[in-house]
């Protein structure tokens, strides 16, 4: 198997091995997880297709609801991610400012000799 970026294959393998699973058990877990995920997506899309075939308006509303949930979750993730990034930058900048001020206080006053 070839783990792709963002699928969790590499991290999942490491965690599985840390939990004491054998390589075969980890491979079986990934295979079962992939099949379950594929069947869940296929089942959901078949359900939505069936609803559209029975009642077009209800099907459209269901598609709009799914799209809205996806858009809101994407927006929420981006907002949370940016908020965390800003916090880290603030802590970094704040600590640099604190170090700068401490270094200035510890160095003592600047004395000018005007002869």
- Angle in degrees, CA 111, 114, 115, rounded to 5: 130
User: Rounded to an integer, what distance in angstroms lies between the CA atom of residue 72 and that of residue 78?
Assistant: 10
User: Rounded to an integer, what distance in angstroms lies between the CA atom of residue 94 and that of residue 100?
Assistant: 10
DSSP state of 115: -
DSSP labels, 2-13: -PPTTTTHHHHH
Would you state the pLDDT for residue 44? 86
Query: pLDDT tens string for the chain (115 positions)?
Result: 555 566 667 778 888 888 888 989 988 988 888 888 889 989 988 888 888 888 888 888 888 998 999 899 988 888 888 887 777 776 666 666 666 666 666 555 555 555 5
38 within 8 A of 45, measured Cβ to Cβ: no
User: Rounded to an integer, what distance in angstroms lies between the CA atom of residue 4 and that of residue 30?
Assistant: 13
pTM (two decimals): 0.46
Q: What are phi and psi of 67, to 5 degrees?
A: -65, -40
């Amino acid at each position: 198997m070839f783990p792709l970026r963002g699928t969790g294959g590499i991290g999942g393998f490491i965690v599985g091995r840390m939990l004491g699973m054998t390589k075969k058990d980890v491979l079986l877990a990934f295979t079962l997880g992939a099949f379950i995920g594929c069947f869940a997506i296929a089942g959901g899309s078949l359900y939505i297709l069936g609803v559209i075939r029975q009642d077009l308006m209800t099907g459209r509303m269901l598609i709009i609801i799914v799209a809205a949930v996806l858009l809101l979750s994407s927006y929420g993730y981006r907002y949370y991610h940016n908020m965390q990034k800003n916090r880290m930058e603030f802590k970094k900048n704040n600590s640099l400012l604190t170090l700068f001020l401490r270094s200035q206080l510890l160095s003592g006053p600047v004395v000018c000799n005007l002869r």
